[in-house]
Amino acid sequence: MFWNWNRNRVRTFSVFVFSAGVFASISCIFCFFPSIELLFGKLSCGF
């Protein structure tokens, strides 16, 4: 039972790390390419 709980905890932690890495890469893309951020802003606003 302890092993199962530990495995679920590791899986949750790995999902958290993966989502944090995806968020960090998206933030880096928006920081290094402001023209892409401007384009996505215009698309999301509907212009």
Amino acid at 19: S
Give the model's pLDDT for residue 36. Answer: 67
Give the model's pLDDT for residue 10. Answer: 84
pTM exceeds 0.85: no
Give the model's pLDDT for residue 18. Answer: 92
DSSP per-residue string spanning 14-28: HHHHHHHHHHHHHHH
List the structure tokens of 25.
Answer: 């890469």
Which candidate, 9, 28, 2, 17, places its Cα nearest to that of 36? Answer: 28
* Tens digit of each residue's pLDDT (9 = 90 or more) over 1-47: 566 667 788 888 899 999 988 888 887 666 666 676 677 777 666 54
Give the model's pLDDT for residue 9. Answer: 84
